[in-house]
Structure 1
Amino acid sequence: MHIRPGGMDDSGAIAALLSDLGYPATADSVASNLSRQLAHPDAELLVAVENDAVIGLISLHFIPQLALTGDYCRISYFCVAPEVRSQGVGAALEAAACGLARARGCDRIEVHCHSRRELAHQFYYRQGYTESPKYLQKSVRADQPE
C-alpha cells in the first residue's frame, strides 16, 4: 500500500468510498467537486492505493488563524474501504495528513465526526484526538429560506 495525492482519474473510486460513507455520489458529481478542490491552494486530497486500486482517502483543508500563531488543518472527508478496515490504512492516511499539517505550519488537526459514527470515534481516540467544544452549523444554501 502507498499514499499519493488524489487526482481526477480517481473520481470513480472516490465516489464509491463516499457512497460507502453515506454520501451518494457518482464519478461525474465527484469529478466536478474534485476539480475545484485540486485547484484550491489550501486543500489537499490523499489516497491510499493497493494493487492500483484506491482503498482510502483523506481530504484536508488548511485554515489560517487570527488569534493563534499556527494555522489548523481540518479533515473534511476520511474513508477506508470496508474490506481493508483495521489493517492500518486509516492510520497511514491520518499520519500522512499530520505530516502535511506540520509542513504547512499547523498547530493542530481537527475533524467533525457525527455522533452516529461510533467506530470512527474509536479510531480517532486511538490516534490521539480529544473532544473539543460544541460544533454548530447553519445552512446558507440559496434554495433554503433564512
Structure 2
Amino acid sequence: MTEFRIARPELADVDDLLKIIKSTGFFDDLNPESEECRHDAESVLNSIMQSRDRVMMVARDEQGHVIGYVAMHFVPYLILRGEEGYLNELFVMSSYRSQGIGSMLLEAAVNEARDRGCKRLHLINSKRRDSYKRGFYSKRGWRERDYCASFVLNLEERHENSESVT
C-alpha cells in the first residue's frame, strides 16, 4: 500500500502544484509551462508561506512529489467572536483520486482550524465538480447552506451594467 504524508509546501513544489491544478480540467487557460504562470504561482505560494492568516498543506507520495494540496485562510468575525476558516482550494492529482488523499487533506485542514480556535469552516464547492456530485463534503459532516447565494465580482473585467461613480 502506498504511503502518503501531509506537510507544508516548499517553493520547489510550484511545478507539482501547477500540474495538479491543470489536471482538474477546470482551468484550461492555465499554462504550467509558461514562465509568467510559474512566476505568479511562486509569488502566491511565497505569500502564503509568509502569512499567519493563510495556510497550505500538501500531500506527498513516497517519492516526495506533491499529489494534492489544501489551502485556506482565516478571517476574524465579530458576530462569531472569533475566526472563520475559509477553505479555498482542495485538489488532488487526477491519477491519485479515490485513495483517501482528499480526506487526509481535509482532516489536516480541520485540525489546523481547530488548533487556531476557529469557530467554523466555510467552503464553496462547484456543483459541476465530481467532489460535489459524490457528496465528498456532505459525507464528512459538512452541511450545504440552501439559504445563501454565492456571488463573485471579477475585478479584471469592465462591467457595463455597473453605475459609474464620479
TM above 0.5, one fold? yes
Matches within 5 A, 1:1-146: 1-21=4-24, 22-23=26-27, 24-26=30-32, 27-51=38-62, 52-117=64-129, 119-121=130-132, 122-132=135-145, 133-141=148-156, 144-145=158-159, 146=162
- The structure in which a higher percent of residues are strand is 1
Letter in 1 for 2:16: A
Letter in 2 for 1:66: L
CA distance in 2, matches of 1:68, 1:28: 37
Deviation at 1:25, TM superposition (A): 4.5
CA distance in 1, matches of 2:70, 2:126: 16
Q: Which runs of 4+ in 1 moved over 3 A?
A: none
How much is the aligned-residue C-alpha RMSD, in angstroms? 1.5
Deviation at 1:28, TM superposition (A): 3.0
CA distance in 1, matches of 2:116, 2:31: 30
Structure 1: tracts of 5 or more residues without a match: none
Letter in 1 for 2:14: S
Aligned length: 144
TM-score (norm 1): 0.90
- For 1:64, what is the secondary structure of its paired residue? strand
Q: Is 1:5–1:45's contact at 8 Å kept on the other side of the alignment?
A: yes
Letter in 2 for 1:99: N
- For 1:92, what is the secondary structure of its paired residue? helix
Deviation at 1:29, TM superposition (A): 2.9
Identity %: 26
> Per-residue displacement from partner, 1:18-45 (whole Å, max 9, x unpaired)?
1123232523331122112222220000
Question: CA 1:107/1:73 → structure 2, altered by over 3 Å: closer, same or farther?
Answer: same
Structure 2: tracts of 5 or more residues without a match: 33-37
TM-score (norm 2): 0.80
- The structure in which a higher percent of residues are helix is 1
Deviation at 1:110, TM superposition (A): 1.3
Letter in 2 for 1:67: I
CA distance in 2, matches of 1:40, 1:139: 24
CA distance in 1, matches of 2:117, 2:98: 30
